[in-house]
Amino acid sequence: MKTFVCLIALICAGLAHAGNVTVAAAATLRHALDEISPRFTQATGHTLKVAYGSSGNFYSQIKQGAPFDVFLSADMVFPQKLVDEKLAAAPVVPYSEGRLVLLVPHQSALKPDGSLKDLAAALKDGRLNKLAIANPAVAPYGMRAREVLIQIKLWDALQGKLVMGENIGQATQFATSGAAQGGLVALSLAIAPEVAARASHSLIPKEWHQPLIQGMVLCQAGNPAAKAFVQYMQTEAARAVLKKYGYDPVLKP
């Protein structure tokens, strides 16, 4: 009986200190965080409120005073800028490495060919009218897509045929909605059930672009729940979910 009372007391104490965490997250993370969020709440009692968008836009918003507790970027550059500008409460922590894919709707004239040889052929024979990517000015996956297209010498030829999403989530919508014949998007979104049911994908060689190391940073120092979330994202439980959604672990030097 005494043990039971002590256990109830501990649970109540945990709930009494439960807090909220406001997270700015790259659009690539939507499906992974949908699964991580309830697990985090179950483990800590804290709850997440997540906004999704492009990492560059979130960087600008946080710089202008947006009250996010944690920033989960699709790269290391934007969170590091916040650290350098003394707008972060802790150093940047890498939490995963993303992958870029060619996503092709089932009814598309394009082939899901990661070598992009068919993309080049489709550009010449008229099968390709539009290709979706995220805006390279604000979205890391868009930056990497541009690097790939420059690498295979198609960037200039595709001008006028690129449909740019504000973030990688919107680019994925363009690639599957008929607004484009395909798109260079995140693996984490391509393998989501609702996308996989409508389109096929193929990995782009990692050597064709800079690594998609993704970093997170604590923005508000005074929120214990936010610190708990940053810690939770480094646990094996969180890493297992990220791996399920196509993220590679970050290799330590």
Alpha-carbon gap, residue 245 to 190, rounded angstroms: 9
Residues 151 and 85 in one domain: no
Positive or negative torsion for Cα 11, 217, 60, 145: negative
- Chain segment 96-131, per-residue pLDDT in tens: 999 999 999 999 999 999 999 999 999 999 999 999
Residues 187 and 217 in one domain: no
48-61 burial: b if 16+ Cβ within 10 Å, else e = bebebbbbbbbbeb
Task: Determine, yes or no, domain membership for 11.
Answer: yes
Provide the pLDDT for residue 252: 59
Amino acid sitting at position 9 = A
What's the number of domains the chain is made of?
Answer: 2
Residues 117 and 79 in one domain: no
Residues 139 and 167 in one domain: yes
| Distance (Å) of CA 8 to CA 5, 15, 97 | 5, 11, 40
Residues 195 and 217 in one domain: no
Provide the pLDDT for residue 3: 39
Decide: 232 and 40 in contact? Cβ < 8 Å. Answer: yes
Strands 199-203 and 100-105: antiparallel
- In this structure, what CATH number is given to the domain that contains residue 55? 3.40.190.10
pTM of the model: 0.86
pLDDT higher than threshold 70 for residue 2: no
Task: Determine, yes or no, domain membership for 252.
Answer: no
Decide: 16 and 222 in contact? Cβ < 8 Å. Answer: no
Please give the helix or strand (H or E) that residue 163 lies within, else none.
strand 162-165
SS3 at position 170? helix
Residues 87 and 107 in one domain: no
Residues 164 and 238 in one domain: no
| Residues pairing with 200 in the sheet | 104
Decide: 249 and 97 in contact? Cβ < 8 Å. Answer: yes
Q: How confident is the model at residue 250 (pLDDT cuts 50, 70, 90)?
A: confident
Provide the pLDDT for residue 4: 38
Alpha-carbon gap, residue 16 to 76, rounded angstroms: 35
Task: Determine, yes or no, domain membership for 251.
Answer: no
Decide: 55 and 62 in contact? Cβ < 8 Å. Answer: no
Residues 119 and 38 in one domain: no
Decide: 99 and 207 in contact? Cβ < 8 Å. Answer: no
Alpha-carbon gap, residue 174 to 162, rounded angstroms: 11
Over range 168-177, report the average pLDDT: 95
Residue 250: CA atoms inside 13 Å, Cβ hemisphere, count? 18
- Chain segment 55-95, per-residue pLDDT in tens: 999 999 999 999 999 999 999 999 999 999 999 999 999 99
| Mean pLDDT computed over every residue of the chain | 92
Q: What residue numbers bound the domain in which 110 lies?
A: 100-203
Decide: 147 and 207 in contact? Cβ < 8 Å. Answer: no
Task: Determine, yes or no, domain membership for 249.
Answer: no
Residues 116 and 93 in one domain: no
Q: How confident is the model at residue 13 (pLDDT cuts 50, 70, 90)?
A: very low
Provide the pLDDT for residue 110: 95
SS3 at position 200? strand
Residues 174 and 153 in one domain: yes
Task: Determine, yes or no, domain membership for 108.
Answer: yes
Residues 79 and 110 in one domain: no
Residues 58 and 107 in one domain: no
Alpha-carbon gap, residue 209 to 144, rounded angstroms: 6
